[in-house]
A and B are shown apart, each in its own frame.
Chain A
């Protein structure tokens, strides 16, 4: 079982819809989780981090964490064509700053 799993997609949503991206992880030790967006040919950019169970909102983005179910999700409201990218889920290990990434979900927002 991979440490961080994501559906590779592509996930296709119409403009203005809510995009829901999901991620599961395999251990009960990790405490910190991150969502990154990566455009083709670019480096990953941090969207948001989440550490506590529940929801965390930042603009059009909401991250959700459920440690009991080992599940992290990212909701993008009012999706725009400019949101079309690969979304990477990552967890931080129990020591240091090592991040373990999922393989990413490709999101396509249709105008």
Chain B
């Protein structure tokens, strides 16, 4: 079966712009989680959605937001981009016995 699909794979944005990333989970999975990975901070949890409801939220500023649609696809949005937002953004879907990550979106803010 298809894995977790993230689009786009790469993005270059300018400071102050906003960006939207997309994640389609494995078919049948209702939970989608988002993570930010940077060399300095490692993998950090952003938020988790289950059946269109945010179930957990990490310690990120309000510029980071997300949502989940009825087909379980999820989007995350970052507004007013800062240089420090440059990172690999990963989403994962799963049901407790293991979580599968997508290939990620590499965001570069210039």
Contact = CB atoms under 8 A, between A and B. Distances in A.
Interface stretch (A15-23, A39-47, A62-70): A39-47
Contacts, number: 61
A95 B97 contact: no
Q: Give the interface size bracket for A toward B.
A: 20 to 34
A21 to B, nearest CB: 15
B31 A97 contact: yes
Nearest to A47: B98
B66 interface: no
- Chain B interface main SS type: strand
A98 B48 contact: yes
B42 interface: yes
Interface of A: 32, 34, 36, 42-46, 49, 88, 90, 92-93, 95-104
7 contacts: A44-B90, A44-B101, A97-B31, A97-B94, A97-B96, A97-B99, A99-B33
